[in-house]
Amino acid sequence: MTMRYYQPFHRWILFFALFAIAPSYRILAQENSDCLGCHNDRSLNGTKKGKTISVFVDEKRFGLSIHTSLTCVSCHSDLEGKELPHTEDLQPVNCGSCHSDEQSLHSKSLHGKAIARGDPLAPHCTDCHGTHDILSAKNINSPTSPLKIPFLCGKCHQEGAPVQKQRTIHQDHIIENYSESIHGQGLLKKGLIVAPNCASCHTAHSILPHTDATSSISRKNIASTCAKCHAEIEAVHRKVIKGELWEKQEHVLPACVDCHQPHKVRKLFYDQGMADKDCMRCHDKPEIKSSKDNRSLYVKYTDVKLSRHMNIACSQCHSEVNASHVRPCETIKKKIDCASCHAEVGTQYQKSMHGMLIAKNDPNAPNCKECHGTHAILGKSQPTSPTFALNVPVLCARCHREGKKAAVRYTGDQHEIIEHYAESIHGKGLMKSGLTVTAMCTNCHTAHSVMPHADSSSSINPKNIPATCGKCHHGIEDQFQQSIHAKLVGKTDKQLPVCNDCHSAHTIRRADEAGFKLDIMQKCGRCHEDIAKTYFDTYHGKVSQLGYTKTAKCYDCHGAHDILPISDPKSHLSRENVVKTCQNCHPGATRRFAGYLTHATHHDPKKYPFLFWTFWGMTTLLVGTFILGGIHTLLWLPRALKIRRELKALERSKQEQANREKENNGNDK
Amino acid sequence: METINNPEAKEYLRFSRLNRILHILMIVSFISLALTGMTLKFSYTGWAVLLSHLLGGFETAGNIHRAAAIIMFGVFFTHIYDLTRRKKREFGSWKKLLFGPDTMLFTKKDLRDFIGNLKWFLGIGPRPNYGRWTYWEKFDYFAVFWGVFVIGSTGLTLWFPEIFTLMFPGELINVATIIHSDEALLATGFIFTVHFFNTHLRPEKFPMDIVVFTGRMTLEEFKHDKPAEYEDLVKKGELDKFLVEPYPPIVLRTVRVFGWIALSLGFSITVWIIYAMIFAYR
C-alpha cells in the first residue's frame, strides 16, 4: 500500500536544520504568534479572487497538525520578509516546495491535469489533506487515514456528486459497490485498515485512467497492483490462466478485473453484476430468434447448469455485456473467445491446421464449438461428451470421413481413415472392446495442435512419431531409440523408418497377426531391396511367400525395434548372439548351423561362387539331359506315327476280314 | 489273329505283382513330392500359393512331402530287398543277376540297339530287335537310382539340418538346397515329358500303356514290342510259363482312371513349371 501522506524522516531533519539556522540571518523575525495575533480572530475576513472569505486560523488545531512546528511563512512564503500585518491576498500555498515528489505525481495525474485545465471540480492538495489542520495519515482522525479514504474520495466520486455526474467516469456506484465488495467490507465493516481502500489500487497522487499504460490500473499493471496484496495469486489461478503470461500478453489474456470487476470484487465471479437470470429473461423463450439471420437464440439453461461451465456466468463468456442497458447484450460485438480462459489451448489451436484455416476465414474450418458444443459443453471424461474417448472417432469422422468436407480437400495418401481405423487394433480396442485408454484420433494427432505430418512441429511428423507412439508404447520407444534406425537420425541422408513405416497409421494391426507378419518383409524390403530379394531366394523367404508365418522373418533374426547392425555386439546377429537367435526356432542349432546363408543367391559368382557353380552345374546337367532326351523323342516321333498308321491299317483290315467272314456265315445260313 | 478277337486268350505277364505295386506307390509318392516341392520352389507364383493352401497350408504340404519321401525310400529299399531275394531264389548269385540276359545293366546289345534305333529314326535301317529291357527303360531305371541318391540325400540334409551341421558347414545347406531343387526339377521334367512320351504318349501306345499296372500285355503287343525276348522265350519253349488270364474290364477301367489322373497331374505340373520358369521367373 502506498501511503505517502508525510515526508520521509530524513527530509524533516534537513528541514529543521534549515529552520534553526534561518532566523539568525533574518532582520525581521516573523513568529507564528505574529500571524496568529490577527488570524485567531474568528471574525477576521479576507478576500480571495474577489470573494470574501474567513481567514481565521484555529491555533489549537494547527497545534495538533503535523505542520505545527513550521512557521506560517514556511508555507505562505510570499509573506516572507514582508511587513506585518499584511493587506494583500496571499498566493496559494505551494505544497510542492517541500513535497516535490508528490507534487510532480499529482501534476501528471488526472486530478493534476484537471487543475491545469482549470477544471473547477479538480481537487487540490487541500481538498484531501486540509489546510492548517493537516494530520498524519496514520492518525485515525485524518481524512487520509485508510478508514476515511473511501469517504474522502466519495466526496466527489459518489453517485450524484458533480464529478460523477458531469465528468466522464466510466464506473458507476463506485462507493456503494466498493462498500459491498469484499475489500470494502473488510475495511469498513471489519475495520481492517490493511484492507485495500481507493488509494491502494489507484494510488494517492498518481491517479491515472486505466487507458494510460503507466496507470496502476492499466491492463498491463493491474496484475501487479492486485499482487501487492494478493501475492502468489498466479499460482491459485494456474488452472484458468498461465500466470506469467499476464504481463507478457495482456491483450490476449484476461486481467484480474475481467473476472473480478473493479469495485465489486467478490469471491464469486460477477455475483453482483450481470446475473444469468437477466440473460435468461429473454433467452429462456424457445421462440427467440436472431433478427439478423433468424437463427434460434434459445438457451436451455439446464444444459448450462449440467455442463462443465455450471459455475460460469453467461456474461463471462458473452463478455462486453453492459448491465446498464435494457438489453445488456446489445453491446456485444465480438464472438466468444474461449481462449480468454483457455489460453494455452487457444494458443495451440491458433497454430494448428484448424486454427490456421479459421484465421483464413475458411468456412470448413472447425472452431471450438464445432467439437465441444456450446452451452451443454462437457468434459472429455464424461461419456456423453463428444470429446469422450469413445466418441472422438465419430466426432472427427463428421469432417474426415471419405466424401466429407475435410476429406475432400485432403491431398495426402491416407484414405478411408475412419473405416481403416475402425478395423485397426486401436479402433477395435476402442470401439469393440470399449477400452477408453486405446489410441484414438487425438492421442496421435493431439486435440488442439492438429498439424499436417510435413510440419516439423506436428505430433505425426516422422521426427516426432516415436515420441507420439511412445506416449503409450513407452517400452518399445526405449528399444527403438537404441536401434540403428533411431541412432542414424541426423547422420544419414537416407530416410529412416519410424513406427508408422512398418505399422502403418490407420490400418495398424496386431504384430502377431498373419497379415502383419507376412507384410513386414515387403516393408523392410522397401529400403533393403537387395537383401529382401535374396531372402526370398532362400528357404525362409520362399516359405513365408507361401503364407507360412512361423518361419523366420526379418525381425525374427534382426530384432524388431531393437535392430542393430550385425557388427554391433548387442545385435541379435552378432557373433555372440547369432547361435542363440537361431536356437529360437532350431533348438539344436550350433555355430556351424548358423553358417547357413539366409540371404544367399546363386546369381552372384563373386560373393557365393560355390552356389553359383553348383547352380550352373545342375542347370547344365538338366539342360543336357533334356536336349538328349528331347532329340531322341523327336526323332522317334515320325517312326512312331508310322507304326501307329500301320497298326491301324492292320486293325482295319482285320475288322474288314471279320465282317466279311460274318457276312459269309450269314449268307451260308 | 485270334488273340485280339478272343478275350479269353492268355496274355504275357511282364511285371510281377510286387513291381506293379511298387510302381503305383512310386507314382503316388513322386507326384506328391513334385506337387509339394514345386510349391516351395516356385513360391513366387500365385499358383504355388494357391496350391499350398489347397494342400492344407505350407506346414501340411511339408508333412506330405516328407511322408511321400518316406514312401519313396520304402519303394527304393523294398526293390533292393526284392533284388537280393530274387538273387537267392532265381539267380543264385549277383553275377548271374547282373550279367544275365535280362540284366538292367547296359550291355553291348543296348549300344547296338541305340545306334540301330537312331538309324531307324533316320530311315536308314530296320527297327532294332528290342529285348526284355530296352536301353531307354534302363535309363529310366537308373535315373531313379541317381535321383533317390541325389535328391534323397540332400533332402535328408534339409530335413535334419541341425544333425547335418554337426559335421558340415552351414553353407552346404544352401548348396544342398540348390542340388535338391534342381535335380528334382530334372527328375519331374524328365519323367513328365520324356518318360511319358517313351512309354505312354508314343503314338503307337497313345494315350497310355497300362502294362505297368496290369503287368499283362497281349502276345501281339509282346511280339511287336520285345521281339528278341519273344523269340528267345519261344526258342526256349518257356513262353507258356508267363502266360496268364487277362484282367476283367472293370480292373482295366480302374487302372485307366488312375493312369489318367497320374498323367494329368504330371502334365499340369509340367505346364506349371514351364510357366514359372519362363513367365514368372525371378
Which chain B positions have a beta carbon within 8 Å of A588's beta carbon?
Answer: 162-163
Chain B nearest-CA residue for A545: B43
What are the residues facing A48 on neighbouring strands? A51
Nearest to B169 among A595, A633, A654 (CB): A595
Distance from CA of A669 to the nearest CA of B (A): 22
* Structure confidence at residue B40 (pLDDT): 92
Chain A hits for B206, CB-CB cut-off 8 Å, are 644
Predicted pLDDT of residue A630: 92
pLDDT of residue A4: 47
Chain-chain contact of A545 with B49 (C-beta, under 8 angstroms):
yes
Amino acid at A418: I
Rg (CA), chain A: 48
Beta bridge partners of B217: B12
Q: In this predicted structure, which of A37-46, A131-140, A254-263, A402-411 has the lowest mean pLDDT?
A: A254-263
In this predicted structure, the answer to whether residue A239 has a pLDDT above a threshold of 50 is: no
Residues of A in contact with B134 (CB under 8 A): none
DSSP 8-state class, residue B101: T
| Stronger pLDDT, B11 or A324, i.e. the higher one | B11
Distance from CA of A562 to the nearest CA of B (A): 26
Phi then psi for B243, rounded to 5 degrees?
Answer: -90, 130
CA atoms within 13 A of residue A542's CA, in its CB half-sphere: 21
Rg of chain B over CA atoms, in angstroms? Answer: 21
C-alpha cell recorded at residue A345: 489451448
Residues present in chain A in total: 669
Determine which of A176-190, A250-264, A322-336, B133-147 has the lowest per-residue pLDDT on average: A250-264
Per-residue confidence at A240, pLDDT binned at 50, 70, 90? very low
| Range of A71-80, A387-396, A502-511 with top mean pLDDT | A387-396
Facing residue for A596 by CB, picked from B136, B171, B197: B171
User: How far is residue A637 from each of residues A227, A624, A631, B150, measured CA to CA in Å?
Assistant: 112, 20, 10, 31
Could you count the other beta carbons within 10 Å of the beta carbon of residue A549?
A: 16
Q: Is B91 helix (H, G, I), strand (E, B) or coil?
A: helix
Q: Quick check: B171 and A610 CB within 8 A?
A: yes
Question: How large a percentage of chain B has pLDDT more than 70?
Answer: 97
Long-range contacts of A154-163 (CB under 8 A, 24+ apart): A156/A121, A156/A123, A162/A121, A163/A121
The C-alpha angle A165, A171, A176, rounded to 5 degrees, equals 85
A625 touches chain B (CB under 8 A): yes
How many H-runs (helices) and E-runs (strands) does chain A carry? 37, 2
First to last CA, chain A: 154
The single residue listed with the C-alpha cell 503409450 is A472
Look at residue B99 and tell me whether its pLDDT is greater than 70: yes
pLDDT classification of A236: cutoffs 50, 70, 90: low
- Helix (H) / strand (E) containing A53: strand A51-54
Please tell me the predicted confidence (pLDDT) of residue A413: 85
The reply to whether residue B194 touches residue A633, judged by beta carbons under 8 angstroms, is yes
Q: What is the pLDDT of residue A13?
A: 61
Q: Which domains does chain B have, with CATH numbers?
A: 2-278 (1.20.950.20)
Q: For residue A463, give the DSSP letter.
A: T
Q: Which residues of A, range 628-667, sit inside 8 Å of B by Cβ?
A: 629-630, 632-633, 635-641, 643-644, 647, 654, 658
Distance from C-alpha of A472 to C-alpha of A436, rounded to nearest angstrom? 13
Burial bucket for residue A311 (CB in 10 Å: 0-12, 13-18, 19+): exposed
Secondary element (H or E) of residue A279: helix A276-283
The model's pLDDT over B35-89, given as tens digits with 9 standing for 90+, comes to 999 999 999 898 999 999 999 989 999 999 999 999 999 999 999 999 999 999 9
Put simply, whether A593 touches B (Cβ < 8 Å) is yes
Confidence class for position A574, pLDDT limits 50, 70, 90: very high
> Which residues of A fall within a CB distance of 8 Å from B163?
588
pLDDT at residue A268 is higher than 50 = no
Task: Give the residue-averaged pLDDT of B269-281.
Answer: 87
Q: Which of A302, A326, A210, A318 is nearest to A262 (CA)?
A: A210
Residue A572 has pLDDT above 90, yes or no: yes
Q: Does A616 touch chain B (CB under 8 A)?
A: no
Are B234 and B226 contacting, i.e. CB atoms less than 8 angstroms apart?
Answer: no
Q: Chain B: residue nearest A629 by CA? A: B194
Q: Between chains, do A614 and B178 touch, taking CB under 8 Å as contact?
A: yes
Is residue A298 within 8 Å of residue A286, measured between CB atoms?
Answer: yes
Strand partners, A45: A54
pLDDT digits (tens, 9 = 90+) for A83-107: 777 877 788 888 888 898 888 899 8
Find chain A residues with C-beta within 8 A of B57's C-beta: 547-548
Whether A159 contacts A165, CB under 8 Å: no
- Residue B167: the pLDDT is 92
pLDDT of residue A266: 60
Q: Contact A540/A598 with Cβ under 8 angstroms?
A: yes
- Overall average pLDDT of the B271-281 stretch: 86
The C-alpha atoms of residue A356 and residue A344 are separated, in whole angstroms, by 16
Average pLDDT value for residue range B225-240: 90
Q: How confident is the model at residue A274 (pLDDT cuts 50, 70, 90)?
A: low
- B180 reaches A (C-beta below 8 A): no
What is the side-by-side order of every strand in the sheet holding B11-13? Answer: B216-217, B11-13, B243-244
Residues 26-65 of B with CB under 8 A from A: 39-41, 43-44, 48-49, 52-53, 57-59, 61
What amino acid is encoded at A405 in this protein? K
* Spatial distance between the Cα atoms of A194 and A187, rounded to a whole number of angstroms: 7
State the average pLDDT over residues A579-586. 94
Residue B114 to residue A305: CA distance in whole angstroms: 107
| A63 reaches B (C-beta below 8 A) | no
pLDDT confidence bin for A267, thresholds 50/70/90: very low
> Which residues of chain A neighbour B158 with C-beta distances below 8 Å?
539
Mean pLDDT over the full length of chain B = 90
Runs of H (alpha helix) within chain B: 2-5, 17-41, 46-54, 57-86, 94-99, 108-122, 135-159, 161-164, 171-190, 196, 211-214, 219-225, 227-236, 249-278
Q: Pick B5 or B231 by higher pLDDT.
A: B231
pLDDT of residue A23: 46
Per-residue pLDDT tens over the stretch A486-511: 887 778 888 889 999 999 889 898 88
Cross-strand partners of B11: B244
What confidence score (pLDDT) does residue A185 get? 85
Nearby residues of A394 by Cβ (< 8 Å), 6 or more positions away: A386
Pairwise CA distance, residues A509 & A505, whole Å: 10
A459 pLDDT tier (thresholds 50, 70, 90): very high
Work out the minimum CA distance from B202 to partner chain A, whole angstroms: 6
The predicted structure's pLDDT at residue A257: 76
Question: Quick one: cell of B179?
Answer: 542340388
What's the rounded Cα separation, in Å, for the pair A619 and A460? 52
Question: For chain B, give me the number of helices (H) and strands (E)?
Answer: 14, 3
Per-residue confidence (pLDDT) for residue B92, from 0 to 100: 86
Cβ within 8 Å, pair A629-B190? yes
The mean-pLDDT minimum among A50-59, A317-326, A551-560, B163-172 falls in A317-326
Q: Does A589 touch chain B (CB under 8 A)?
A: yes
Q: What is the pLDDT of residue B7?
A: 47
Cβ–Cβ under 8 Å, residues A597 and B163: no
Q: Measure in Å the smallest separation between the Cα of A428 and chain B Cα atoms.
A: 28
Q: What band does A2 get if pLDDT is binned at 50, 70 and 90? A: very low
Q: For B124, name the nearest residue in chain A, comparing CA atoms only.
A: A639
pLDDT in tens, A118-160: 888 889 888 888 888 888 888 888 888 888 899 898 888 888 8
pLDDT of residue A643: 85
Please report how the helices B46-54 and B17-41 are oriented relative to each other, as an axis angle in degrees rounded to 10: 130
Q: Which residues in chain A touch residue B184, judged by CB atoms under 8 angstroms apart?
A: none
Q: What is the per-residue pLDDT across A316-357, written as a single tens digit (0 to 9) for each?
A: 788 777 766 778 788 788 888 888 788 889 999 999 999 999
Question: B53–A547: do the CB atoms touch at under 8 Å?
Answer: yes
Check: CB of residue B66 under 8 Å from CB of residue B159.
yes
- Residue B38, burial from CB neighbour count under 10 angstroms (0-12, 13-18, 19+): buried
A2/A41: higher pLDDT: A41
Return all residues near A566 (Cβ < 8 A) that are at least 6 apart.
Answer: A573, A574
Q: Which residue has the cell 497320374?
A: B262
A182-186, A236-240, B120-124: range with highest mean pLDDT: B120-124
ipTM for the whole complex: 0.91
A569 part of contact set with chain B, CB < 8 Å: no
Question: Amino acid identity of A665?
Answer: N
Which single residue is written with the C-alpha cell 497522487?
A205
In this prediction, residues B108-116 reach a mean pLDDT of: 93
Count of A-B CB contacts under 8 Å: 142
Report the mean per-residue pLDDT for chain A: 84
Residues 6+ apart with CB under 8 A from B18: B78, B82
Contact (CB<8Å) A614/B175: yes
Tell me which residue in A548, A594, A625 faces B190 most closely, judged by beta carbons. Answer: A625
What does the block give as the cell for A484? 540403428
How far apart CA A377 and CA A367 sit, in angstroms, is 14
Helix (H) or strand (E) segment spanning residue B222: helix B219-225
B85 interfacial to chain A (CB closer than 8 Å): no
* Smallest CA–CA distance from B52 into chain A, residue: A546
- pLDDT at residue B5 in the model: 47
CA distance A460 to A451: 8
Residue A249, pLDDT score: 52
Between A546, A587, A640, which is nearest B48 by CB?
Answer: A546
Cell of A68: 505545527
Closest alpha carbon to A521 in A551, A478, A496: A551
A204, A3 contact by CB (below 8 A): yes
Check residue B2 and give its pLDDT: 39
What is the reported pLDDT for A11?
60
CA distances from A513 to A41, A92, A424, A550, B73 (A): 111, 97, 12, 11, 38
pLDDT at A577: 94
A9 pLDDT band, cuts 50/70/90, is low
* Mutation for testing the B interface, residue in A545, A546, A614, A648 having most B CBs under 10 Å: A546
